[in-house]
Structure 1
Amino acid sequence: MKNRLYLVIYIIVAILAPHHTKAQDNNEFRQIYLQAEEEYQVGRLEQALDLLQSNINGFDGNLKQNAYRLIALCYMAQDNTSQSENYAKLLLHENPYYTSIQDPVRFEDLIRRLKTGRSATVTTASSQAESVNEAPVPVTIITSEMIEMLGYNKNLNQILAAYIPGVSEVASSNLDNIAIHGAYTSSQENILIMENGHRMNTRSTNLGRTDYAINTQKIDHIEVLRGPASSLYGNVALTAVVNIITKDGTSVNGLSAQYGYGSLHTHKADLLAGTHFMNCDVFAWASLYSSAGEDRYLSAELDQSLDIYRVAGPPSTYGGYAHINKYTEKPSYDIGVNIKLNDFNLMFSRKSGKKTQQYSVLAHAYDYDSYRWFDGQKPGYSIEENHADLNYSKTFGDFSLNASIYGDWYSISDYSVASDAMYYNEFNEDGSPKKDEQGNEIYTLWDGAYQIYDWKEMTIGASVRGDYNYTIGKMKGNFLAGIQFENFSLYDTYGLVGRNYDGVELFFAEKNNTIKTGHENNISFFMQGKHYFTSKLILNAGIRFDSKYRANGARINALSPRLAFIYTPSRELSMKLSYSRSFVDAPYFYRLNTDNTYKGSVDLKPEYLNAIQFNVMGDILPINLTYDVNLFYNRFSDIMYSVPDAGIEDAKYRNSGRLETIGAECSLHYNSKRIKANLTSSHTRLLHAKDYPFRDHHIYAVPDFINNIQLMYDVLAKTNHHLWLTANTKINSKFYVQIPGNDDNECSGNTVFDLGARYLLGKHMTIQLDCENVLDKTTYMSGATLIAMPWYNPGRTVLASIKYNL
């Protein structure tokens, strides 16, 4: 017994001794840093530099980043701009998301320039810190300041459409949706949405939300990879990756609260809290959004013109409402916390939101208020989600290790109105359609028909990756390799079909529901090499192998390679030529659904994209202008296509679609103390399509030309106060709408103006007024569903808000 006690004591001492020694070392170097800070404060710059630079290898974690910051400040005080910039870059390499607060104005401007220019540091493109110049694919960084330019009422969908060339908003019966380079699905399923590197897309549908369930005030910046990225991220990273980087406790350093009220009974509220003490950084956020939206009445004649689904003769009534930007009953919210302690990072967040469909699933106007309450809400597509992630990251000389375990839990409710009046099948007790003596299905006129599908899903996963910096002669490089495993389960499913607005006609329990329960496993291996032939010529190559064991026992494999050559002749110029292959697996929801509306084969294959891009980026420093020009060729294959005339026994979705596009896109960014401006412009041309909505060389729902302009001017720049005036303009060319049996489906282009003003009263209070669609123009949108015109964009709305910082 005594020997066991000695053994336990020995193990405890062995574990704690290194940490005790490290604590002693940290305390020693902390004292050195504090001494250097005192020398800097009294103007003894050489002494401060000597203390910091001679001990730089002993600093660790936050202490090291603080040392780089202080060295940069010392050189700036000596007017040694180049050295100050070099150490500021080391600071951003140590912490790419560092925010300058309570620093000299010159240093704040330097950090801002480094974070937004060509030398800005990103981590999403190669899963490691690197400048935008060296990223293997085109990258756009959207800063918090750029988000403020658009106004307080914008959601992530509108932010991406404004700043990412080639992106346009498209209609969806579910949540907000966008297309990139002409590619879109019934909901946003082609773009991987991440938050601090953690996936937000569901696994059952691949849907990644971009609506008000994402708090935009918590965002420090957004890194957007404009192109395929499956070589690193696997499934869903088909056309782009959007990585939301949140603020940290240091940048918030207190409490920030903002509330806005506006048109259509719109309420928006945000709360941020953050602090940093010792080696712990804590950041927490919460947001709420609700809006009654606009209920636009459609006359009986107009509603009848939308009729593309009614069968067996016209019903007795037409007419109803189109519901525009309606977020009611339970508000959308986003709450979470991010804690960094030494080498560990813990994240937890909970999001929820429901958007009411503008039209019914059968393309009819409908009376929203007449339908029953179900589980606390009325019709709409609702998602409640929880995310947890524990990450460990450590550098050992030239080797870095990153490991994480994570979990995602979703509760999804698809409460869809079919029609206020429609003909519907009669069913037997076993759920099969009733038939007459001649074998014809029997239809009955139903008023207030609706359907509800509910399911829950859970994913538990883990990943480990390591990268090594090497030197071969005069060349250097980095090699990265990793493995990822996920277990997905869909459970607790049920559904019902009802009529008369409130009655239940059929109920599907878990075992006989149209959405089958099950679980799937996915394992992935990935490698990446980044080799510097010279300081100006870089090769970045990567490959990923994904293997999924599907619920039906089948195994699906996908290989995703990437190859990029990067040439940086100067700090102000970068050129890239890249090839990538990416994929998005057919969603579980379509593979294991027996309902004829969504039914696909269990053998549905992944969709693929092969893309070639040539990108030129640069800075014109004398006029503070940054430019980005990109030429692309995309070839999509095995696209899931909804077969319109599929029978009840047939699979409605099949891998028969193809799409080939070419195009050009550019963006310009001007930044000075008083004026800030952004311009994005893109053109997409269809080369070939099969089983995809198109007409001639035009893709339905997507304008050929998309342009966005944002301007911000500080009226009081030379005083102690700031009054920012903002103007945003969206100019889209004509586009075409998919209306079966109707060739007259051209929509005129849209030009929409937004205006705003933001007044800063000292450091603590901000008053803001935003007006969207100032001219109250009636504009249209179309997209992923067979819904005829008009699918309305919102009219003029006004939102006033007040923000207070403690």
Structure 2
Amino acid sequence: MVRFLKYAVIFLICFISVSAQDVKTLMQIPLEELMKIEVTVASKKSENVYDAPGIITVITKEQIEGFAGLNLGQVLNRVVGASFLSANVFSDNLVQFRGQSLTPYNNHTLILLNGRPVRDPISGGLNSPVFASFPLDIIDHIEIIRGPGSVLYGSCAYSGVINIITEKPEEDLKKIKFTIGGGSYNTLFQNIKLVLNKNKFSLISGISHLDDNGPFYSFTGYEGVKGSANFDRKTFGFTTSINWGDFHLNSYYGRFYPYALSGGRNTWSDDDPHSNINQITYFVDLGYSRKVGEKLTVNANLTYNKHFLDLEDGNEMNAEDFLFEMSANITPFKKLNIISGVVLEKDNYWGDFFYAGNTFLSSVYIQTDYRFGRIKLISGLQYNKIENIKGNISPRFGLVSGITDKIGIKLLYSKAFRKAYPLETSFKHPLFNGNMNIKPELIRTAEVQIFYHSEHIQSSITCYRSRMSDIIYRKWIDDPASPIGESIKYYNAGTHDFAGVEIETQYCLMDGLCIIGSFYFQKNRNDKGIENASLHPNLMIKGGLLYHKNRFSAGIFNGYFGRPSEVELLNPDVDKCNPEAEAYNLLSVKISAEIFKGIRLSLTGDNLFNLDIRYPEYTSRGVNTLIPLYAGRVIWGSASINF
């Protein structure tokens, strides 16, 4: 770890040194715009990214459009320390940060849409309908906290928070954008964007649809059954953001309908594989924000989330969540900011595999920051109480200091949690037993970041250490009622320690050209003393070139993902029936040009090394690998028309 930290420091110093050179032809966008971007994800108020109390990555609209990426998951796969995965039988379901995902459910990562939680109430992490279906055209930028955020956002803001910020239409603007494209696997996709702003009313709406035959995968599932098939998929996403005076409305509907394995047995299905995992996400948030004088802003939000999961043989799972939040931003005097709020939340769940019921949760939170000179001190606290479970406190402390105008430091400590969900508390299945007494999973994280920024360069190095505790596991127990004499039960147990270093840099080299790079290394150990027991890669190195000039743009990006640990590390009896997971390079290229005013053509290639990419089956660990991440080169083209 020390050796890699030395290399990381040298890597950062080299990029800072380059910035001292007199380069007169540096490009003006997009990096200068990135320097000006203010984020809201860390404090629920607008602030410069370098003042924010979090380790934050910002993905700009220029980067979303300039690099390859057919969906949100592929865009997020470029973030330092992040991986977009198909875990267990769930395709395109998970973006993990810092190797801290131990289940197929993405419940250590919280998704926000304009600051409001899009949270699956079945498991906390069935995110395929968002990662695969969300319309990219309406996104202005994405704010990502690498690390915890439960003080302000509660459950699942555990290892990462993804805040999708939609465009804010200009005054007196009406615009429609239509995109159609297609390519490998007989892919066909269409996107529509509608923008309207008149007086105090603004609307931005997006639709995305994709239908393909899917990549051809061949592997052995659980029960020793080998199969081959094209994993086709159908996705549909529709989102709308409306602002009218002090009121705002955000909504999203997403559907993910893939070819899938049998969810109960993790193997090839004898029935229609399209009936195995069909997911629909519903999200609506109605908000009101009112400024009262110069020192007080009051906010009220009513948020509704619902998730529908259609499993094999027509069995269904349904869950919905109603959340009411009142908060206030207070500035008693110039150097002090306070945000405080109360949250009331109720979950309802029902279906073929659930004992129908509901759960009530309440929480209160406060976060303050006080500035004197170049130093800003941060403190925060959330108390959350789940029905019939002992209350939990999540604190946050931090210091952000500008050492000079260009160099600064962040020292942060946070505790975060994710509660148990109906899939763990109320599962009704011959082979699974829910446990209503499961406590929330906890994580404590300490972080140190040194950052540098100037007009044309930004670089940062972050070191972190985390400890997960009360981890929600599942184990086999004797069960006379089970058809096989035993079943799986969920319970809390154990700890898992993580430590790592992350480096990010962006540098404008010449007129219109920007270099983006990141380095990530982590090590982890479970409570049994097993090193690298999370089975995720220890090393990731990512980088790209983005060129934009007049009506032409080109982007090339490569992500190197190191060799992960083998499942045999945790299960010596694992069935090694499939190819092992290896290190891989994921190379993509995108070229686009505006051939006429309002008409743009694009050509994109992904996985250009034509790799068959496998990943450890780190969730159930019965086989060494399961569904591949990629299988073969992908090429697609598109045409966009603006009206």
- TM-score when scaled to structure 2? 0.87
The amino acid across from 1:461 in the alignment is L
Q: 2:609 aligns with which of 751, 770, 775?
A: 775
SS at match of 2:122: coil
Deviation of 1:273 (Å): 0.7
| 1:255 corresponds to 2:176 | yes
Cα distance change on mapping 1:569 and 1:411 into 2, 3 Å: same
- Within-5 A mapping of 1:555-566: 555-566=389-400
- Within-5 A mapping of 1:113-128: 113=31, 115-117=33-35, 119-128=36-45
| 1:321 corresponds to 2:228 | yes
CA contact (8 A) 2:151 2:394 kept: yes
- Within-5 A mapping of 1:136-535: 136-153=53-70, 155-167=71-83, 169=85, 171-175=87-91, 176-184=93-101, 185-209=103-127, 210-250=130-170, 253-298=174-219, 303=220, 309=223, 318-321=225-228, 323-324=230-231, 326-327=232-233, 331-357=234-260, 361-365=264-268, 371-372=271-272, 378-395=274-291, 396-415=293-312, 451-471=313-333, 476-491=335-350, 493-494=351-352, 514-534=353-373
CA contact (8 A) 1:575 1:616 kept: yes
| 1:721 corresponds to 2:551 | yes
- Within-5 A mapping of 1:541-560: 541-549=379-387, 554-560=388-394
For each residue in 1:201-225, what CA deviation from the matched residue of structure 2 results, as whole angstroms up to 9, or x when unmatched?
2122101514222122221111111
Q: 1:784 aligns with which of 619, 625, 640?
A: 619
CA distance in 2, matches of 1:517, 1:121: 43
SS at match of 1:193: strand
- Within-5 A mapping of 1:702-721: 702-714=536-548, 717=549, 721=551
Deviation of 1:573 (Å): 2.3
For each residue in 1:181-240, what CA deviation from the matched residue of structure 2 results, as whole angstroms up to 9, or x when unmatched?
221122211101111122112122101514222122221111111111111111111111
CA distance in 2, matches of 1:556, 1:333: 40
The amino acid across from 1:169 in the alignment is L
CA distance in 1, matches of 2:415, 2:473: 20
Deviation of 1:149 (Å): 2.9
CA distance in 2, matches of 1:586, 1:488: 12
CA contact (8 A) 1:289 1:332 kept: yes
CA distance in 1, matches of 2:435, 2:487: 9
SS at match of 2:459: strand
Deviation of 1:673 (Å): 4.1
Cα distance change on mapping 1:152 and 1:257 into 2, 3 Å: farther
CA distance in 1, matches of 2:518, 2:424: 36
Cα distance change on mapping 1:208 and 1:124 into 2, 3 Å: farther
CA distance in 2, matches of 1:518, 1:221: 38
The amino acid across from 1:784 in the alignment is T
Cα distance change on mapping 1:113 and 1:792 into 2, 3 Å: closer
Deviation of 1:743 (Å): 9.6
SS at match of 1:570: coil
Q: Which runs of 5+ in 2 are unaligned?
A: 1-26
CA distance in 2, matches of 1:575, 1:646: 53
Q: 1:630 aligns with which of 462, 469, 473?
A: 462
CA distance in 1, matches of 2:496, 2:314: 33
CA contact (8 A) 1:149 1:710 kept: no
SS at match of 2:277: strand
| 1:674 corresponds to 2:521 | no
Deviation of 1:361 (Å): 5.0
CA contact (8 A) 2:580 2:624 kept: no
SS at match of 2:177: strand
Q: 2:406 aligns with which of 572, 577, 593?
A: 572
Counterpart for residue 560 of structure 2? 731
Counterpart for residue 15 of structure 2? none
Q: Which runs of 5+ in 1 are unaligned?
A: 1-107, 311-317, 416-450, 495-513
The amino acid across from 1:334 in the alignment is G
Counterpart for residue 15 of structure 1? none
For each residue in 1:541-585, what CA deviation from the matched residue of structure 2 results, as whole angstroms up to 9, or x when unmatched?
110111122xxxx23422110001111123422211111000001
For each residue in 1:753-776, what CA deviation from the matched residue of structure 2 results, as whole angstroms up to 9, or x when unmatched?
222211122440110111111121
Structure with higher strand content: 2
For each residue in 1:638-660, what CA deviation from the matched residue of structure 2 results, as whole angstroms up to 9, or x when unmatched?
11122256644665222113210
Q: 2:588 aligns with which of 754, 767, 778?
A: 754
Once the two structures are aligned, what percentage of the paired residues are identical? 19
Counterpart for residue 802 of structure 1? 639
The amino acid across from 1:764 in the alignment is G
For each residue in 1:306-342, what CA deviation from the matched residue of structure 2 results, as whole angstroms up to 9, or x when unmatched?
65x46xxxxxxx5321554x31xxx311113221111
Cα distance change on mapping 1:604 and 1:555 into 2, 3 Å: closer
Q: Provide the aligned length of Structure 1 versus Structure 2.
A: 598
CA distance in 2, matches of 1:236, 1:759: 40
- TM-score when scaled to structure 1? 0.70
Deviation of 1:168 (Å): 5.6
SS at match of 2:50: helix
CA distance in 2, matches of 1:393, 1:109: 35
SS at match of 1:145: helix
For each residue in 1:350-389, what CA deviation from the matched residue of structure 2 results, as whole angstroms up to 9, or x when unmatched?
22112333676544445xxx624xxxx8234222222222
The amino acid across from 2:370 in the alignment is H
CA distance in 1, matches of 2:327, 2:300: 6
CA distance in 1, matches of 2:135, 2:563: 32
Cα distance change on mapping 1:288 and 1:452 into 2, 3 Å: same
SS at match of 1:202: coil
Deviation of 1:668 (Å): 0.9
Cα distance change on mapping 1:637 and 1:569 into 2, 3 Å: same
Counterpart for residue 443 of structure 2? 609
Deviation of 1:604 (Å): 1.1
Deviation of 1:605 (Å): 1.2
Higher relative contact order (CA 8 A, sep 6+): 2
Counterpart for residue 683 of structure 1? 521
SS at match of 2:156: coil
Cα distance change on mapping 1:452 and 1:186 into 2, 3 Å: farther
CA distance in 2, matches of 1:701, 1:357: 23
SS at match of 1:378: helix
Structure with higher helix content: 1
